[in-house]
């Protein structure tokens, strides 16, 4: 999701969900920011290793 338009298209629907649950997006991208409007963005490899 390096392209700004793609990032907005994929993450904006999650920002519209108004609940108290934690929102996480797992990605293979390593150069992405770690947060987008309250949504955590985590590298899937790091997430699997951390457990």
> Whole-prediction pTM value?
0.75
Question: Which pLDDT belongs to residue 17?
Answer: 92
Q: How far apart are alpha carbons 26 and 16 in whole angstroms?
A: 19
Tell me: the pLDDT tens digits for 3-51? Answer: 888 888 989 999 999 898 999 999 998 887 888 888 999 999 999 998 7
Q: How far apart are alpha carbons 6 and 18 in whole angstroms?
A: 22
- Relative to beta strand 35-36, strand 39-43 is antiparallel
Helix (H) or strand (E) holding 42: strand 39-43
Domain ranges within the chain, ordered by starting residue: 4-50
Q: How far apart are alpha carbons 8 and 2 in whole angstroms?
A: 10
Higher pLDDT, 1 or 46: 46
Question: Which pLDDT belongs to residue 1?
Answer: 67
Question: Which pLDDT belongs to residue 13?
Answer: 93
């Amino acid at each position: 999701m390096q392209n700004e338009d793609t990032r907005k298209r994929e993450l904006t629907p999650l920002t519209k969900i108004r609940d108290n649950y934690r929102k996480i997006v797992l990605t293979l991208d390593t150069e992405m920011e770690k947060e987008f409007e309250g949504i955590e963005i985590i590298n899937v490899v790091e997430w699997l290793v951390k457990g």
